[in-house]
Amino acid sequence: MEGPAFMLNPGPASASPQTLRALSTPVTYHNDPFFIERFRRAQDRLAQILETQHDVVLMQGECMLGLEAAARSLVRPGMRCLNLASGIYGKGMGMWLRSFGAEVIEIEVPFRDVVDPADVRRAFDEHPGISLVTVVHSETPCGTLTAVQDIGPIAKEHGALTLVDAASTLGGVPLRPDEWKLDVCVGASQKCLGAPAGISLMTVSDDAWGAMRANPDAPRASILSLLDWKELWLEQGKFPLTPSISDMYGVDAAFGEVLEIGVPRYFGRHERAAAACRAGIAAMGLELFPRSADIASPCVTAIALPDEIDDLQLCGHVRERYGVVLGDSEGAGKIVRIGHMGIAARSFEPVVGLSALGRGLMDFGVEVSLGDGLEAAAMAVGEAALETVQAPSV
């Protein structure tokens, strides 16, 4: 079986040529000065992208490991936690918290919606003693984006820490841990950055470190130990374990590419791709899965499917017939998803995704206005391109 021509799934995203070249760098000893310099450079580059003075931890292991490590390091039995559940990953975080012995207060909304910051403030008023708020920035299976910039300050005002699952947004959406009072953010290397899946990209505030050190149940001498990274690597310059050398070269190159393009411009690519997808979906006569475009993620577009269409069958058909990989629902409902992450946020990729989706639906007997959709998407791409061109001075 041949690989697909276009990877428009919501991660892992395709790597850029620059990242692929970096991955071919010869493997070195992890304590060699060359690798240590690259590792430190990658930390500094991520701090630049996120405009943060918080500690940056590049933790060995895919993002889910980083999230579990952060939760285990912060949570102790009996701790009162507020979990915001607007999708599969938010629900999963709640399960983790309960398994660690936390008392979990959960604000749950339908998967087509996001938690209102006003409800977060109300929860603090109704449940004194909340010590930690956990929230998913973008629920990738649902295609929604939660306003963590409004939630972080509310938590800090009430003396609580905030743990943010930024798996699919880091690198594609503005994320400012310091300004937004977000104590721990955990992102994925394989989403909007287009690097290999193998490194958890984390920022940790001084308040969060203090809470971890005060937690007798925080992991130590463990692959889940953030304190090992703090006390060995950040404070002594000694790795707590052997990092994945090649993955780190790829991540460093991906960070460098974002900075070379320009952080605002790189973010803008994702927003423009999302706008093109949304315009095309509406013109085709299809329905966006999020309840409104203002809560839709710039990193992935989730489309509601007719009841008679199976998402797995549709995605399999589109991949085999048209060479385009789309995302299924991952259990979130009757959904198909077009990912626009990393190089898949380039101007023509949304048009490719919409074309493959439209043809696939037509093959299954669904009437769609494919031509109108492609024209609307192309127009949106063109308008966005014009907005980036500065008029000459006269």
Look up the CATH superfamily of 6-11+263-387.
Aspartate Aminotransferase, domain 1 (3.90.1150.10)
- Distance CA(40)–CA(277), nearest Å, equals 37
DSSP label at residue 3 = P
Question: From the centroid of its chain, how far is CA 365?
Answer: 34
240 prior amide bond cis, ω within 30: no
Ramachandran bin of 61, using left for φ above 0, alpha for ψ from -120 to 50, beta for the remaining angles: left
Q: What is the pLDDT of residues 263-288, one digit of tens each?
A: 999 999 999 999 999 999 999 999 99
The set of residues, in sequence order, having a beta carbon less than 8 Å from that of 121 and lying 6+ positions away, is: 154
Using CA atoms, how far apart are residues 143 and 338, in angstroms rounded to an integer? Answer: 9
**Confidence bin at 394 (pLDDT 50/70/90):** very low
Does residue 342 contact residue 272 with C-beta atoms inside 8 Å? no
Q: If phi over 0 gives left and psi between -120 and 50 gives alpha, with beta otherwise, what is residue 221?
A: left
Q: What is the pLDDT of residues 156-191, one digit of tens each?
A: 999 999 999 999 999 999 999 999 999 999 999 999
In CATH terms, 17-260 corresponds, of 3.40.640.10, 3.30.1490.190, 3.30.300.30, 3.30.470.20, to 3.40.640.10
Distance CA 69, CA 215 (A): 13
Tell how far CA 1 is from the center of its chain: 30
323-354, pLDDT tens digit by residue?
Answer: 999 999 876 668 999 999 999 998 788 899 99
What stretch of H or E contains 60?
strand 55-60
171-to-1, 201, 259, 327 alpha-carbon distances in Å: 32, 11, 10, 20
**4 falls in which pLDDT band (50, 70, 90)?**
confident
Domain residue limits, the chain: 6-11+263-387, 17-260
Distance CA 245, CA 24 (A): 11
> Could you tell me whether strands 335-339 and 300-304 are parallel, antiparallel, or unpaired per DSSP bridges?
antiparallel
